[in-house]
Structure 1
Amino acid sequence: MDTEFAQIDPYLPPVEKPAGLIKKLVYALSRRQFGKVPTPVKVVYARMPVAFGMFVGKIGQLDKKLELPQETAYLIREQVAHINVCTFCTDIGRYFVIRANMNEAKFDALHQYSTSPLFSEAERAALDYVTELTRDKNVAPQTFARLRSHYSERAICEIVWLVASEHFYNLTNLGLNIHSDMLCNIARKS
């Protein structure tokens, strides 16, 4: 590993004791939901509460309106986070998978989705599209055609939305050197 990037601590120090009633409430609600205050809350939200809170809130609102199966949405987000090497994002994604009692074996097999019997042809088409878009920032016409053979136009737009919004989370955490909070371990214990 390149020692230049081996630092574990976030580049900005986490705000452990927030000022203001609303920030304290957000910390308390986060602690209640996750068993601890996630690092992005202490690093980003604490410094940009209105902007970050509103943007993340809007992502959450739009995610609730998705017509894609929840498992498919989580698979897409996790694939993007894996490619972008956002360990916080893969950790919190797995936290939600555990809490929703989804098949963890399927998420464990994500790196071999193209050959694993756990994945449908539709999921493979979506994950090929997501992988290509995330990795190359471009998609071949044949990849899109395969995706289109399995998904409606709305579902395709939802897939693109999931990729784009996951990039927001990934780049926010990577840019500030925020890594896993081991939230998945907390979820397994509860």
Structure 2
Amino acid sequence: MRQVADWRSSTLFSDAERAALEYAERMTITGQRVDDALFERLKRHFDEPKLVELTAAIALENFRSKFNVPLQVDAQGFCIVPQRGT
């Protein structure tokens, strides 16, 4: 999980994972666009049902972050807690 923030330089992620992470980033950051080149890369790794599911999962997490934060809803499950000295 610690490598997700550095997915571009990390050697831990497959091509499919890199495409999904870029897709998530572009869906999440205002002003970013999912262009045809990225969509073509995604289609090399994911069929249509998987792309729909991936898109829905990313959209749901974006919804949660926009909904929960202003209402101060605490995390109910897994979250990354920085370890001391890392």
TM-score in terms of structure 2 length = 0.76
Q: Which residue of 1 aligns with 2:24?
A: 130
RMSD over aligned Cα, in angstroms? 2.4
Rg larger for: 1
Identity over aligned pairs, percent: 32
User: 2:14 pairs with 94, 113, 120, which one?
Assistant: 120
CA shift, 1:109, in A, is 0.5
CA shift, 1:145, in A, is 1.1
Of structures 1 and 2, the one scoring higher in RCO (CA 8 A, sep 6+) is: 1
Q: Provide structure 2 residue ranges, at least 5 long, that are not aligned to the other structure.
A: 81-86
Q: Provide structure 1 residue ranges, at least 5 long, that are not aligned to the other structure.
A: 1-106, 186-190
Q: Which residue of 1 aligns with 2:71?
A: 176
1:94-116 deviation line (CA, Å, top 9, x unaligned): xxxxxxxxxxxxx1100111221
Distance in 2 (CA, whole Å) between partners of 1:183 and 1:159 is 19
Q: Which residue of 1 aligns with 2:58?
A: 163
Q: For residue 139 of structure 1, what is the amino acid of its counterpart?
A: V
Structure with greater helix share of residues: 1
Give the direction of change, closer, same or farther, for the CA distance of 1:142–1:182 in structure 2 (3 Å limit): closer
Q: For residue 155 of structure 1, what is the amino acid of its counterpart?
A: K
